[in-house]
Amino acid sequence: MIRLESVGLHYGTASRPGPLVLEDISFSLPAGGFRWLQGPSGAGKSSLMRLLHLELRPSGGQLVVLDNDINVLSRHDLPALRRRIGMVFQDFRLLQHLNAFDNIALPLRLAKAPEKLIAEDVGEMLRWVELTKKASHFPPELSGGEQQRIAIARAVVGRPRLLLADEPTGNLDDTQALRQMRLLGELNRLGTTVVVATHNDSLVERFPNPSLRLEDGRLVQNG
Amino acid sequence: MASRDDLGLRRLLGQEMLPLLVAAMAFLAALSIGGALEAQAVSRHWQAGAARSATVLVPNPDQPLPRRDNGPEVTRIDGVLRVLRPNQDLAQVHQLSPDELGRLLGPWLGNATDPRSLRLPGVIALRLERDDVDLVVIGQQVAAIAPGTTTEGHNAWIGRLLTLATSLEACAFAVLGLVGLVAIAVVIAATRAGLAARREAIEIVHGLGAPDTYIAGRFAGRIASSAGFGGLLGTLCAAPVLAGLAVLSAPFLEGAPFALPTRIEDVPPILLAVPVLPLACALIGYLTARLTVGRWLRSLP
């Protein structure tokens, strides 16, 4: 499960802190739950996602991710926890020197999965995102939408316990957006906790689930 | 862990100047090691040779010794030789002939001067059986037979030789240390350049759950292979120079004819040092890169 209690976040260092980007955030999300994360640009959605992805540590308060209190967890323990989290980045963050297959395979290889299993799982993901024919293409050879689908496939291929998606359908047409959302929904049905940050209200309406709403770094709606 | 070049280091570090710079360092290191080992070998050889030799000078060598029990007349030098030859501590007792003396003194007296026309002492060259033969005792024995006879070891010469050889070795190892430090600096610079160029890829892989040891290991492995290749290149370039050094020093290492060594202890140190150098370059590269990347990664959450 995920639990935040009075979590605050500011960039900068402890001695020279920048302005607060998240303030007094408290909510909990049970294992297997689904939350939309909404709010205007600059509200702090990406910062909250980065906190949940363990890219940042909270400046204050308590953050529990997959039952691990981040404040007491040592740096040495973080990689194993990160491997249980899938993340779809707004800017895809694909490795430009790896082809689509190897980009998707990366989490499995980091988890030391056997190559046979990797070939099967990555093949299945490529079929799901309808990019089997582009398995050997490199990101610069793919359109924005195709890169986004590869990023989604990479995030879910390891069957993470927690899936975080930051605007996962921003570059997709409606058909593809619905298809990828069904993939996230299926994963959620199988027990993965899912948090999806989006501006797309119509998508939220099509997949009704509880929402978290941020404004000016504060949580103004939970449910 | 991932088996592909997920950080894109092959293209990044393969084309850098690192192998060439390390090759230059390895070349200098090989010369330093070669110089040090050659100096060591030559000094050891000379030291062993000098330590096991001594010279006995017998003034008025042809003068007869006082007769004993109506025995035959014996010259002073023969009397000394009679004492020395049965001595078990002496491997060789050799009286220098007038011709040999002439050759020895030639550089000072010129070839025109016949040493027989000079009142020179008789000279006996001794080859000692062991290093620890007591020359004082031998000196006392010969002086008792022929008063005024002196026995000289070569301690002063050995001392100077040792100082010279030690100084040469120290210089060579100082150069080696300096070369090692420069190599470390070069590897640090190359690693930092690689980190700067691959920052995004590292952050992505780190975010996907790659531990620091994995990322640092990837960099270290890549740098080690580049440095090892550079080390091999530099060592190969240095090989003809080292062979030349060995040829030049051969006359000072007179002794057994060349034979392929059958035991590791018999392999000349210079031959052992050469294959070790590329490995040492790779190891320096690996450890330096690993530490540099490990330290850098601590700036990530």
Q: What is the pLDDT of residues A197-212, one digit of tens each?
A: 988 888 888 888 999 9
Query: Cβ B2–A82 below 8 Å, yes or no?
Result: no
Which CATH number describes the domain made up of A30-47+79-222? 3.40.50.300
pLDDT of B44-74, one tens digit each?
777 766 767 889 999 998 888 887 777 778 8
Q: What is the pLDDT of residues A132-141, one digit of tens each?
A: 999 999 999 9
Verify whether the Cβ–Cβ distance A111 to B209 is below 8 Å.
yes
Question: Which domain range does residue B140 map to?
Answer: 60-148
Considering only CB atoms, B4 lies closest to which of A75, A102, A107, namely A102
pLDDT reading at A120 higher than 50: yes
Asked if the C-beta of A107 comes within 8 angstroms of chain B's C-beta atoms, the answer is: yes
Q: How far apart are CA A36 and CA B32, in angstroms?
A: 68
User: Does the residue B3 lie in any domain?
Assistant: no
Number of alpha carbons in the 13 Å side-chain half-sphere of residue B154? 20
> Could you read off the pLDDT of B173-205 as tens digits, one per residue?
899 899 999 999 999 998 998 899 889 999 999
Do B174 and B236 have their domain in common? yes
Q: What is the pLDDT of residues A149-171, one digit of tens each?
A: 899 999 999 999 999 999 888 77
Between these two residues, B160 and B225, which has the higher pLDDT value?
B225
Question: Which of B206, B208, B222, B296 best tests the A interface by mutation, with the highest count of A CBs <10 A?
Answer: B208
Based on the fold, state whether residues B125 and B269 are members of the same structural domain: no
Rounded to an integer, what distance in angstroms lies between the CA atom of residue B253 and that of residue A91?
A: 71
Same domain, B112 and B141: yes
Is B98 inside a domain boundary? yes
Tell me: pLDDT of B1 over 70. no
The pLDDT score that the predictor gives to residue B104 is: 77
Nearest to A137 by CA among A162, A82, A100: A100
The answer to the question of residue B81 being in a domain is: yes
Q: Please check whether residue B137 lies inside any domain of the structure.
A: yes
Q: Are residues B236 and B283 in the same domain?
A: yes
Has residue B167 got a pLDDT over 50? yes
Same domain? For B220 and B101 the reply is no
Q: Which amino acid is present at A45?
A: K
Largest CA distance in chain A: 52
Q: Are residues B203 and B262 in the same domain?
A: yes
Tell me what pLDDT residue A48 has.
93
Which of B5, B209, B298 has its CB closest to that of A110?
B209
CA dihedral over B68, B72, B73, B79, signed as positive or negative:
negative
> Which runs of consecutive H residues, i.e. helices, occur in chain B?
9-14, 18-51, 76-84, 98-109, 135-145, 155-197, 199-207, 212-249, 269-297
Contact between chains at A109 and B209 (C-beta distance less than 8 A): no
Q: Are A176 and A145 in contact (CB under 8 A)?
A: yes
CA distance B208 to chain A (A): 6
Mark yes or no for CB contact B6/A82 under 8 Å: no
pLDDT tens digits along B104-139: 777 777 766 676 777 888 999 998 888 788 888 999
Confidence band of B5 (pLDDT split at 50, 70, 90)? confident
A32-58 mean pLDDT? 91
On whether residue B155 sits in a domain, the answer given is no
Domain assignment present for B122? yes
Alpha-carbon distance of B121 to B105, in angstroms, equals 13
Same domain, B272 and B173: yes
A chain contacts of residue B204, beta-carbon cutoff 8 Å: 93-95
Residue at which a domain ends, from B125, B148, B171? B148
Contact A22, A215 (CB under 8 A): no
**Residue B53: inside a domain:** no
Model pLDDT, residue B205: 93
| One domain, residues B36 and B84 | no
Domain boundaries, chain A: 30-47+79-222
Helix (H) or strand (E) holding A20: strand A17-29
Q: If you search the block for the tokens 């993939």, which residue do you land on?
A: A183
pLDDT value, residue B15: 52
User: For B278-297, how does the pLDDT look when each residue is reduced to its tens digit (9 = 90+)?
Assistant: 999 999 999 999 999 999 99
Say if residues A99 and A142 touch (Cβ distance below 8 Å): no
Residue B160 pLDDT: 79
User: Cβ of A97 and B201 within 8 Å?
Assistant: yes
Average pLDDT over residues A51-69: 92
Per-residue model confidence as pLDDT tens digits over B215-274: 999 999 999 999 999 999 999 998 888 778 777 776 666 554 445 556 666 656 666 677
Confidence at residue B38, expressed as pLDDT on a 0 to 100 scale: 76
Q: Is A98 on the interface with B (CB under 8 A)?
A: yes
| Residue B34 sits in the same domain as residue B72 | no
The answer, for A219 touching chain B at a CB cutoff of 8 Å, is no
Residue A102 in contact with residue B6, Cβ under 8 Å?
A: yes
Residues B197 and B95 in one domain: no
User: Measured between beta carbons, which residues in chain B are less than 8 angstroms from residue A95?
Assistant: 6, 8, 201, 204-205
pLDDT of residue B39: 77
Q: Is B4 at the interface with chain A, CB within 8 A?
A: yes
Across the interface, whether the CB atoms of A107 and B208 are under 8 A apart is answered yes
